[in-house]
Copies of this chain bind each other. A is one copy, B any other.
Amino acid sequence: MSLVLDPAAQDLLFREARTANTFSDEPVTEEQVQAIYDLVKYGPTAFNQSPLRVVLVRSAEARERLVPLMSEGNQAKTATAPLVAILAADNEFHEELPQLFPAFPQAKDAFFSERPAREQAASLNAALQAGYFIVGVRAAGLAAGPMTGFDAAGVQKEFLDGDHTPLMIINIGKPGENAWYPRSPRLSFDEAITTV
């Protein structure tokens, strides 16, 4: 075995975990979301900039605002998932940098004084954190249904502000009936990885 991670954990996080398209009625609790965040917040980002921000859509009123902004094929599952999370990149993350990276508080001005540099860093590092977040949802025994099919400008206007760029929206819950499509094939090692 080349991996030291327990095989049951490999299955839970990657091999048997699947993107869910239907969900049971079982709620996702605040404690579960806090446990997920308390785990995945440790995932690394550049200068520990941690630009991921999450909006949990819990009220019926907020859900009603969100569903019409989803692509048609995503509306039914977003309407019925126990919890929906909007993942966004904070393009003004540099304001927290002196607190988040005390080893080099000058990083804020040295690298991130210009908005385009911040947007580029925020989109990359928040997407990296989105990967950790999906792993964390699975670590809680829940299924994630990440989606990029939505009206990004509309979601930004309704739920965020001009400093936060929505990256993806994730349905979260226990899988329901017929939750999975067949597993699609993956690229082989040699198709994805080259050696020089």
A interface residues with partner B (beta carbon < 8 Å): 1-6, 8-10, 12-15, 17, 19, 29, 31-44, 46, 48, 50, 52-59, 62, 96, 99-103, 121, 123-124, 127-132, 134-135, 138-141, 144, 146-149, 159, 167-168, 181-182, 184-187, 189, 191-196
Contacts and interface: CB of A to CB of B under 8 A. Distances in A.
A193 B42 CA distance: 15
A181 to B, nearest CB: 6
Contacts of A96: 187, 191
Contact of A130 (B128, B147, B187): B128
Nearest to A29: B2
B184 A56 contact: no
A14 B196 CA distance: 30
Contacts of A140: 2-5
